[in-house]
Amino acid sequence: MISLTFVLVIAAGFIFLTLSRGRAISLAAGDLASLHSRPSYHGLHAFLWVVLVGITTLLILSVLGSSLITAALMGDIADALPDSQRIERQLILSDAMSLSRGTVASKDDALRQEVAVRFGTYEAIRVWGSVLISLGLAALIGMRSLSRTTLEFRARNSSEAIIRRLLLGCAIIAVLTTVGIVLSLIFETLVFFENLNWRIDKYLFGTRWSPLSGVSAGVMDPDRVGAVPLFAGTFLITIIAMLVAVPIGLLAAIYLSDFASKNVRAWAKPMLEILAGVPTVVYGFFAAITVAPFIRRTGEALGMNVASESALAAGVVMGIMIIPFISSLSDDVINAVPQSLRDGSYGLGATKAETIRQVVLPAALPGIVSAVLLGISRAVGETMIVVMAAGQGANLTLNPLEAVTTVTVQIVMLITGDTEASVAAGPAFTLGFTLFCITLGLNIYALRTVRKYRELYD
């Protein structure tokens, strides 16, 4: 019923759109210039009002109604069973709802039947009330818009004002959700630190990570929440990834922008972009199934001891994943270096190599740096590849042939593990918040350099 009403409200919107537009046209009597706004704006104005008022009323009434009903029925149940637990009453209520809807309930007794009947009545009032009131209000508003359709009415300005507010609303939602997520990260982090008796130093500098072993009632042992091995692992894998991605990506970008013919460019650039579109989970099992065994066999052939899950495998594959990212961004900034600078250099008798090395790259450097920084922040936050290929044990080492674990892997393990979510959430949120701070810093710095660089040439 409620969802049908949505459709009805929108239909009403279209009806008033047509009516208002028709009225505007007939008022103009053939001389459209005598209208302040074009007829379609009169229609749009009516439509926006009808739909906005109708849907808002419907939402508010039905949501508000639901909670009022729940509150009232809970009160009734409390009167009937004064010494019951809250959770007990909730069970009775949900059983009663099921009974009223004709689905299966856990138990059937007189109280439940009585509440069910009452629920049925309230529910009918709620549904019909919100449907009728919202449709009625929509119709009223529609009539008002229709009567406001006159030659002088500034329908365009009014509907643009409404749309502007709608856009503002969406922007606010986007900002508020971000703020909300960050705030909840901060909040959970603070709770976690409180459980540690504020031994933040243990978290930042401790070298042993097994936060959930021996946890009782959410109190953690500060000696077991040292995040250093995780950050060391993340750092190691990121370094390996960048050692792969930066040289290859940058040289590919130089080739594409300054050496490749139009034809090569025409197919090579889309190819790289396809590479950027491969889901990271695919890279993950590529790393785990193909690259890691290959590295292990090669290592054994050379007489080295290689773990079957190694930082090297994860890092190399992550580097491959980041190549298109770096080459595509660098290619853009290298292309943005004006041709006139290259001409100036050629005109002085510089070769292509000298021109690229001494003029093009320095001019593009800020952009390249920020491409690398953005690449790093991707590597730091990357999860799938390391979950599959890097290992799980918190192992403090800088040897790329050993298994290491990363911040993201540990977050996955905490959340998907068996421990109760409320206990595991603390360390997970804290790790997430730390990671967020790092990538945020990198991104801000990177974007700022890009902006400075844009100003230089615009």
Partner 1 sequence: MTNMRMVDEASKMQDVKIESRGVHVHYGTNEAIKGVDVDILDKTVTSFIGPSGCGKSTFLRCLNRMNDTIDSCRVTGKILMDGDDIYDRAVDPVQLRARVGMVFQKPNPFPKSIYDNVAYGPRIHGLVANKADLDDVVEQSLRRAALWTEAKDRLAEPGTGLSGGQQQRLCIARAIATAPQVLLMDEPCSALDPIATSQIEDLIDELRASFSVVIVTHSMQQAARVSQKTAFFHLGEIVEYGDTPKIFTNPEDQRTQDYITGRFG
User: Which residues are at the interface with partner 1 (CB under 8 A)?
Assistant: 261, 338, 340-351, 354, 358-359, 362-363, 456
Least distance in Å: CB of 254 to partner 1?
17
Residue nearer to partner 1 on the CB measure, 279 or 349: 349
Residue nearer to partner 1 on the CB measure, 196 or 334: 334
Residue nearer to partner 1 on the CB measure, 248 or 341: 341
Residue listed under structure tokens 């070298």: 207
Residue nearer to partner 1 on the CB measure, 205 or 259: 259
Residue nearer to partner 1 on the CB measure, 277 or 349: 349
- Cα separation, 434 vs 336, in Å, equals 35
Least distance in Å: CB of 452 to partner 1?
12
Least distance in Å: CB of 368 to partner 1?
14
Angle at 77 between CA 76 and CA 78, to 5 degrees: 90
- Cα separation, 387 vs 419, in Å, equals 19
Least distance in Å: CB of 26 to partner 1?
56
Least distance in Å: CB of 447 to partner 1?
20
Least distance in Å: CB of 343 to partner 1?
6
Residue nearer to partner 1 on the CB measure, 221 or 258: 258
Residue nearer to partner 1 on the CB measure, 35 or 363: 363
Least distance in Å: CB of 457 to partner 1?
9
Least distance in Å: CB of 445 to partner 1?
20
Residue nearer to partner 1 on the CB measure, 23 or 342: 342
Q: For CA atoms 339, 345, 351, 353, give the dihedral sign.
A: negative
Residue nearer to partner 1 on the CB measure, 138 or 360: 360
3-state secondary structure the chain: CHHHHHHHHHHHHHHHHHHHHHHHHHHHCCCHHHCCCCHHHHHHHHHHHHHHHHHHHHHHHHHHHHHHHHHHHHHHHHHHCCCCCHHHHHHHHHHHHHHHHCCCCCCCCHHHHHHHHHHHHHHHHHHHHHHHHHHHHHHHHHHHHHHHCCCCCCHHHHHHHHHHHHHHHHHHHHHHHHHHHHHHHHHHHHHHHHHCCCCHHHHHHCCCECCCCCCECCECCHHHECCHHHHHHHHHHHHHHHHHHHHHHHHHHHHHHHHCCHHHHHHHHHHHHHHHHCCHHHHHHHHHHHHHHHHHHHHHHCCCCCCCCCHHHHHHHHHHHHHHHHHHHHHHHHHHCCHHHHHHHHHCCCCHHHHHHHHHHHHHHHHHHHHHHHHHHHHHHCCHHHHHHCCCCCCCCCCCCCCCCCHHHHHHHHHHCCCCHHHHHHHHHHHHHHHHHHHHHHHHHHHHHHHHHHHHHC
Least distance in Å: CB of 359 to partner 1?
5
Residue nearer to partner 1 on the CB measure, 160 or 332: 332
Residue listed under structure tokens 């579109």: 277
Least distance in Å: CB of 336 to partner 1?
12
